[in-house]
Structure 1
Amino acid sequence: MVLNHDSTKPIYVQIAEWLETEILNDHISTDEKMYSQYQLAEMFNINPATAAKGLNMLVNNDILYKKRGLGMFVNPDAKGKILLKRKNENLKQMIRELVQEAEYLKVDHDELMEIVQQVRKERKDR
């Protein structure tokens, strides 16, 4: 992953989202030890405090849990929580923007659903 330093999204949020994606893609498993703030800082050439902020964000969202003296680990239900969060936040926001654009373009409900189905089919056929 490459961090986008020009993004309006803070670096620590980008780190947290990358770690969530790693969990979703099974690159980091349930109860597996998470990267430390120092490992993340070295990987992304960022301040360890920034990395720690991203990790703590995941702890606060019950994606990770701390074992005193051992580090942070992936919660058993982390994948489900990430999926639910992304559906409720990211996907809904994207759909709001899509619906707004469709309204500007005078695309009705049926035509919009057709476009969505077409795109899903195209992705499935890849």
Structure 2
Amino acid sequence: MSRDFHSKKPIFKQIKEEIEDQILDDRLQEGDKAPSTNELVAFYKVNHLTIAKGVTELVEEEILFKKRGVGMFVSEKAKEKLIAKRRRVFAEEHITEFLREAEKLHISEEELISLIREKKGRLYNDYEN
């Protein structure tokens, strides 16, 4: 987990996304006990209500579920739900804007594909080095 917050998003959303990231990269898996609100408060050093707001959203989205008196756990199919949600958000927030900008710059579909492949290749090379 990271304690570094930036001002672009509310802190509760950043904490929520950190928990989602743990599920997406398998640090938390289906059925695993999630960190308690008190553990998150102690780790992040933020107000209890801030943590509760992020956790409540995860429960409402059925990513986490509560067992009364025991704690919170990662729901069945949580990872699949998160992938589907993030793909929708990615397409809406990033791809749409990307395509609009490409259109303004008169970049063809072939050029876009070439640029993506080039950047993807560099990204993988950076990971290997």
Identity %: 35
Normalising to structure 1: TM-score of the pair?
Answer: 0.91
Give unpaired runs (5+ residues) of structure 2. Answer: none
Query: Would the aligned equivalents of 1:3 and 1:44 in 2 still touch at CA under 8 Å?
Result: no
Structure 1: 4+ residue segments shifted above 3 A: none
Residue 85 of structure 2: aligned partner: 85
Offset at 1:106? Answer: 1.6
Question: Which amino acid in 1 is paired with 2:13?
Answer: V
Secondary structure, in 3 states, of the residue corresponding to 2:86? helix
Q: How many angstroms apart in 2 are the aligned matches of 1:78 and 1:40?
A: 20
Offset at 1:122? Answer: 2.4
Secondary structure, in 3 states, of the residue corresponding to 1:54? helix
Normalising to structure 2: TM-score of the pair?
Answer: 0.89
Offset at 1:43? Answer: 1.0
Residue 28 of structure 2: aligned partner: 28
| Alignment partner of 1:52 is 2:57 | no
How many residues are aligned here?
Answer: 124
Question: Which amino acid in 2 is paired with 1:31?
Answer: G
Q: How many angstroms apart in 2 are the aligned matches of 1:69 and 1:109?
A: 55
CA deviation string 1:66-91 (max 9, x = no partner): 10111110012111000000001134
Question: Which amino acid in 2 is paired with 1:19?
Answer: I
Give unpaired runs (5+ residues) of structure 1. Answer: none
